[in-house]
């Protein structure tokens, strides 16, 4: 694939789409995580939309949960049904969705008490491993949704936007 060298200036995010195996379970998970109910739910049965995604057809159920500045589209393909990617952080093509928090310790503690299973210990960026130094002290922790989508909580420090 050739990469264009001219900037496309895509600087605003509308939504993140996450393929799920069980829409109802994912709605429950993301509603509990965000405290927000879906703003849209529905079904789609479309050959043209499938073609736009490189699929022969797109039969799916979906729900959208809006958080500040981002829509999270949860999409369960009923045809064609896909295989789970088991997206580990180091696998090319995997992605993660990061939630910014103001009080890392309080959120991390509440999540652990609620049964969220973090992938490892919480981490704080230290000198010599991050640039710019404005990110020093930034706290992160990673966990997965029911389908293995990588999720993160972050409390940025200094001038780091996160």
Task: Give 31-47 pLDDT, tens digit per residue.
Answer: 999 999 999 999 998 88
**What is the pairing mode between strands 139-144 and 123-124?**
antiparallel
Q: For residue 151, give both structure tokens.
A: 């999720």
More confident residue, 131 or 40: 40
Q: Cβ(121)–Cβ(108) under 8 Å?
A: no
How many residues does this entry show for the chain? Answer: 162
Q: How far apart are CA 44 and CA 72, in angstroms?
A: 17
> For 66-116, how does the pLDDT look when each residue is reduced to its tens digit (9 = 90+)?
999 999 999 999 999 988 877 778 887 788 999 999 999 999 999 999 999
Cα 96 → chain centroid: 5
Q: For residue 39, give both structure tokens.
A: 């703003």
pTM of the predicted protein model: 0.89
How confident is the model at residue 159, as a pLDDT? 66
More confident residue, 78 or 1: 78
Judged on CB neighbours under 10 Å (0-12, 13-18, 19+), 122 is middle
Query: What domains, with CATH codes, occur in the chain?
Result: 15-81 (3.10.180.10), 95-162 (3.10.180.10)
**What is the pairing mode between strands 15-19 and 70-79?**
parallel
CA angle 70-150-67, nearest 5°?
A: 20
Q: How far apart are CA 43 and CA 77, in angstroms?
A: 10
**What is the pairing mode between strands 70-79 and 96-100?**
unpaired
Q: How far apart are CA 2 and CA 12, in angstroms?
A: 23
């Amino acid at each position: 694939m050739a990469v264009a060298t001219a900037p496309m200036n895509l600087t605003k995010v509308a939504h993140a789409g996450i393929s799920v195996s069980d829409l109802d379970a994912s709605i429950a998970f993301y509603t509990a995580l965000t405290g927000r109910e879906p703003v849209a739910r529905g079904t789609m049965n479309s050959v043209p939309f499938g073609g736009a995604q490189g699929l022969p057809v797109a039969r799916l159920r979906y729900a959208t949960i809006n958080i500040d500045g981002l829509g999270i589209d949860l999409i369960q393909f009923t045809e064609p049904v896909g295989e789970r990617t088991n997206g580990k952080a180091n696998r090319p093509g995997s992605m993660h969705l990061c939630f910014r928090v103001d009080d890392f310790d309080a959120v991390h503690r509440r999540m652990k008490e609620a049964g969220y299973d973090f992938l490892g210990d919480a981490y704080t960026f230290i000198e010599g491993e991050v640039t710019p130094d404005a990110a020093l002290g930034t706290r992160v922790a990673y966990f997965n949704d029911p389908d293995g989508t990588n999720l993160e909580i972050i409390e940025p420090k200094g001038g780091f936007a996160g």
